[in-house]
Amino acid sequence: MMFRTMLMAGAMAVGALGISGASAADNKEVQMLHWWTSGGEAAALNVLKQYLAKEGYAWKDVPVAGGGGEAAMTTLKAMVAGGNPPTASQILGYFALDYAEAGKLADVSPLAEKEGWAKVIPTALQKFTTTSGKWNAVPINIHSVNWIWVNKPLMDKIGGKQPTNFDEFVVLLDKAKAAGAIPLALGGQPWQEATMFDSVVMSTGGTDFYKKAFIDLDERALKSETMKKSFDNLAKLRGYVDPNYAGRDWNLATAMVIKGDALLQVMGDWAKGEFKTADKEPGRDYLCYRFPGTDGTVIYNTDMFALFDVSADRKAAQLALADATMNPDVQSGFNVIKGSVPARTDVPDTAFDMCGKKGIADVKAANAKGTFVGSLAQNYAQPPAIGTGAYHDVVTKFFHGEIKTSNDAVAELVKAIDAAK
């Protein structure tokens, strides 16, 4: 098997470059495992593919049966366990750290130092791209979850203005309700409710509280009055959704805002892709605000490429991929299409729309101020056992009334987190 791949690699190199003789031939193929298959995502990834093609590297997708991220993670686990890792894989949050701790990732620190990545990638994010000072993953984008997406014509009709704190937010939602529109488009699935709750906690308690509760898992903070108030605020939002929200997919909720059935949606900036597909312009058809009371903070998640410890002949291609991913032009081109913002703070924002420009400025400012924090719902504050596990459970059970009071909710949250540790 090994022999055959090497032979093939050799044959390819000979064919492509005309090199003959006994020199160790580099494998010019980048094997990439990812689940960006939908139109916009694939187009964004094409920017990277084309850049690599210019450098003379061939791109090969690793097929994943079933599509989504979960299936891909299962495939990846099997490939790594079988000793045949891809050159790189799209990866989320703590999964990267799991592989790093298991010693399965490559070390690209020399390249990182040469290119000065540590200076341009937000500090908090580097937690996921480095382990004990070694670089073993590269971030391609930054998403953030504390956004609201507002239908502009509807906003104008009800005479609403940008809310700057939670109380004003409630006033705005009331206005929409009085006008007969659905105030809040929500998909009642655990991850969507939890993602919204990230913003609610940030808005209610501020950055320091968010960090204490969700990053440090400080029990006093988790049980505090502020956390109870956050749950109470979440309960208030329950009054503004339509009766059929349970189980709705997020993009259908976005469609309700696009069509003007609903005033707004609280969702990460991947929602922008839906507006774009529907030919909607920011500022004209829709508005992007930070979740009221969270302006100046960024609750992020990011897509990274984990670089696996591959055989020596594949290292050059891997370095080329890492270098290309961090290239400012690639970052700009990719993120303009994907709707996210570049993972490095020094990329010019000229090609981006107004929401993207705001996103880039926010990331820069938040990184400088220390208000750039990981999303608990998206597993960037805690490992999945706590994020997807304990947190999603308690938030969704509270939102759907299985947990009745905010008192019970904080008690359950602490209990569930302890059980998941």
Partner 1 sequence: MTTTTEPTVAPMVGIPRRELRDRLRDLIPRLVLAPSFALMLVFVYGFNLWTLLLSFTNSKAFTNLNLVGLANYQKLWTWTFQADPPSNWYTALVNMGLFGGLYVAFCLFLGLTLAILLDQKIRGEGILRPIYLYPLALSFIVTGTAWKLFLDPRIGLEKAVHDLGWSSFHFDWVVNPRMMIYCVAIAGVWQTSGFVMAMFLAALRGIDSEILKAAQIDGASAYATYRRIVIPIMRPVFMSALIILTHMAIKSYDLVLSVTGKNPGGAAELPSTFMYSYTFTRNQMAVGSTSAVIMLMTIAAIMIPYLYSELREKHQ
Binding site for partner 1 (CB under 8 A): 70, 73-74, 77, 94-95, 98, 102, 187-191, 242-249, 383-385, 388-389, 393, 396-397, 399-404, 408, 412, 419-420
3-state secondary structure labels for all residues of the chain:
CHHHHHHHHHHHHHHHHCCCCCCCCCCCEEEEECCCCCHHHHHHHHHHHHHHHHCCCEEEEECCCCCCHHHHHHHHHHHHHCCCCCCEEEECCHHHHHHHHCCCECCCHHHHHHHCHHHHCCHHHHHHHEECCEECEEEEEEEECCEEEEEHHHHHHHCCCCCCCHHHHHHHHHHHHHCCCEEEECCECHHHHHHHHHHHHHHHHHHHHHHHHHHCCCHHHHCCHHHHHHHHHHHHHHCCCCCCCECCCHHHHHHHHHHCCEEEEECCCCHHHHHHHCCCCECCCEEEEECCCCCCCEEEEEEEEEEECCCHHHHHHHHHHHHHHHCHHHHHHHHHHHCCEECCCCCCCCCCCHHHHHHHHHHHHHHHHCCEEECCCCCCCCCCHHHHHHHHHHHHHHHCCCCCCHHHHHHHHHHHHHHHC
Nearer to partner 1, 161 or 421 (CB): 421
Decide whether 186 or 360 has the Cβ nearer to partner 1: 186
371 vs 388, which CB is nearer to partner 1? 388
Q: Which is nearer to partner 1, 77 or 369 (CB)?
A: 77
Least distance in Å: CB of 153 to partner 1? 22
Q: How far is the CB of 338 from partner 1 (least distance, A)?
A: 23
Smallest gap, in angstroms, from Cβ of residue 411 to partner 1?
10
Q: How far is the CB of 198 from partner 1 (least distance, A)?
A: 18
Nearer to partner 1, 74 or 123 (CB): 74
26 versus 412: smaller Cβ distance to partner 1: 412
